């Protein structure tokens, strides 16, 4: 990959608001979820007033999944600082990381479970993690879960 190609990709991603849709890892995770019988929506805002689309959402269970690109979201293992305009890029990525956290918090306070998956993660393992979170958010599970935390009502 040449430097100019990379910066081209970056500028295009900036115009799209950093979030590229239907990336390979996303598709792999989605087909695994499908195979396991899970139904979901893609590229949707979990909450209308929060201007952030999640890559995969389970509206009934209130689980939002973001598949984060290693470059854009500052993955500890794969984020490599750009050589050209490094100041611009490090601020940009830092801003993304802050915004991710703010999004998580905003969704959490509205009762949503947020899962962040790195694009480098194994899709099958990621799908299992998502499935566990979805099951944990199902009403019957919640009742059982609460019973183990709280003492019986009587």
Please give the residue ranges that form the binding site for Zn ion (CB under 5 A): 70, 75, 77-78, 118, 120
Nearer to Zn ion, 47 or 117 (CB): 117
Nearer to Zn ion, 71 or 112 (CB): 71
Torsion of Cα atoms, 32 then 38 then 44 then 46, to 10°: -130
Q: E strands of 50-154, at which residues? A: 54-58, 63-68, 113-118
> Smallest distance from the beta carbon of 41 to Zn ion, in angstroms?
26
> Smallest distance from the beta carbon of 118 to Zn ion, in angstroms?
5
Q: Residue count of the chain, please give it.
A: 154
Nearer to Zn ion, 97 or 136 (CB): 97
> Smallest distance from the beta carbon of 46 to Zn ion, in angstroms?
24
Report yes or no: 64 and 116 within 8 Å, Cβ to Cβ: no
> Smallest distance from the beta carbon of 68 to Zn ion, in angstroms?
9
Please list the helix, strand and coil fractions of the chain in percent, rounded to the nearest 5, in that order: 50, 15, 40
Nearer to Zn ion, 46 or 69 (CB): 69
Edge to edge, the sheet with strand 63-68 lists 41-44, 54-58, 63-68, 113-118
């Amino acid at each position: 990959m040449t430097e100019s190609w990379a910066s081209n990709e970056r500028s295009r991603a900036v115009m799209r608001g950093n979030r590229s849709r239907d990336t390979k890892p996303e598709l792999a995770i989605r087909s695994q979820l499908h195979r396991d019988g899970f139904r979901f929506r893609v590229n949707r805002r979990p909450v209308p007033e929060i201007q952030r689309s999640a890559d995969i959402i389970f509206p009934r269970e209130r689980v939002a999944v973001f598949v984060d690109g290693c470059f854009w979201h500052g993955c500890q293992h794969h984020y490599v600082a750009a050589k050209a305009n490094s100041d611009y890029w490090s601020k940009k990525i830092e801003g993304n990381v802050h915004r991710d956290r703010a999004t998580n918090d905003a969704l959490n306070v509205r009762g949503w479970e947020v899962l962040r998956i790195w694009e480098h993660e194994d899709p099958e393992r990621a799908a299992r993690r998502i499935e566990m979170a979805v099951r944990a958010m199902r009403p019957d599970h919640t009742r059982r879960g609460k019973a183990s935390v709280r003492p019986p009502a009587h």
